[in-house]
Amino acid sequence: MIVNPLHAKEAESRWPKEYVESNLKLKSMSKSDQKKLFELGEENIKNVADAFVMEKDASSEEVQRLIEVHYNWVSVFWKPNKDSYIGLGKMYVDDPRFSINYDKYAPGCAEFMAKAMHIYAQENLPN
């Protein structure tokens, strides 16, 4: 995986503990497992975008299952609580470096993702 050095430096300065833990987890994985993990993440984004295009409700069981997959994927790197997972969704909308990952499949998908993440967090995650 190629990581933009500017993003890495920003993550390290904003979330130093989580940055170290995430890197240790990633480095403990084989290159093949890393590739599979990132492919799973990309597939999940595509599935969320498909649900958005099909006008599924963010609170629907189908979408919430996709968000559970996303939460579990994120948790490989860092285990967010309710507020931090909601904040992550907000970052997907507010920061174009992240929103492009969702909106490239369907404009507006980042907002849909954030809404679905907010619902998931409210219903499933501790503070």
Question: Residue 48 in contact with residue 63, Cβ under 8 Å?
Answer: yes
The CATH code of the domain that includes 51 is: 1.10.490.50
Residues 6+ positions from 1 with CB-CB distance below 8 Å: 26, 34, 35, 38
Query: Domain range for residue 115?
Result: 31-124
- Number of helices (H) and strands (E), helices first, in the chain? 7, 0
> Does residue 58 form part of some domain?
yes
Residue 113 burial (10 A CB sphere; 0-12, 13-18, 19+) = buried
Mean model confidence pLDDT for the chain = 91
Per-residue pLDDT tens for 77-125?
889 999 999 999 999 999 998 999 999 999 999 999 999 999 999 999 9
What pTM, to 2 d.p., does this model score?
0.89
> Does residue 116 form part of some domain?
yes
> What's the structural domain count of the chain?
1
